[in-house]
Amino acid sequence: MLCWSIWRTQNDLIFKKSSPTIDKVVSFAKLTLDQWISAQHSPYNFSLNNHTVREKDEQWTKSSLNMIEINVDGDIFSQSNIYGFRCIARDHEGDFIEAFQSSKPSVVNPEFAEAVGIKEALSWIKSHGWSNVMVETNCVNVVHAIKSKVRMYSPNPRIKTHFIKIV
Q: What is the pLDDT of residue 155?
A: 52
Q: How confident is the model at residue 44 (pLDDT cuts 50, 70, 90)?
A: very low
Do the domain assignments include residue 51?
Answer: no
Do the domain assignments include residue 74?
Answer: yes
Give the global pTM.
Answer: 0.57
Do the domain assignments include residue 45?
Answer: no
Do the domain assignments include residue 13?
Answer: yes
Query: Could you tell me the CA-to-CA distances from 49 to 44, 145, 149 in Å, in that order?
Result: 16, 12, 16
Q: What is the pLDDT of residue 14?
A: 82
Q: How confident is the model at residue 78 (pLDDT cuts 50, 70, 90)?
A: confident
Q: Contact at 8 Å (CB) between 110 and 48?
A: no
Average pLDDT over residues 119-143: 91
Q: Contact at 8 Å (CB) between 161 and 154?
A: yes
Do the domain assignments include residue 124?
Answer: yes
Give the domain range for residue 7.
Answer: 1-40
Is residue 67 over pLDDT 60? yes
Q: Are strands 152-153 and 68-77 parallel, antiparallel or unpaired?
A: unpaired
Q: Are residues 25 and 73 in the same domain?
A: no
Q: Are residues 23 and 76 in the same domain?
A: no
Q: Are residues 84 and 144 in the same domain?
A: yes
Nearest CA among 51, 42, 61, 55 for reference residue 140 = 51
Do the domain assignments include residue 27?
Answer: yes
Burial letters for 62-75: b for 16+ Cβ neighbours within 10 Å, e otherwise? Answer: ebeeeebbbbbbbb
Do the domain assignments include residue 126?
Answer: yes
Q: Are residues 36 and 72 in the same domain?
A: no
CATH number of the domain bearing residue 94: 3.30.420.10
Do the domain assignments include residue 53?
Answer: no
Q: How confident is the model at residue 152 (pLDDT cuts 50, 70, 90)?
A: low
Q: Are residues 142 and 83 in the same domain?
A: yes
User: CB 125: neighbour CB atoms within 10 A?
Assistant: 17
Number of domains in the chain: 2
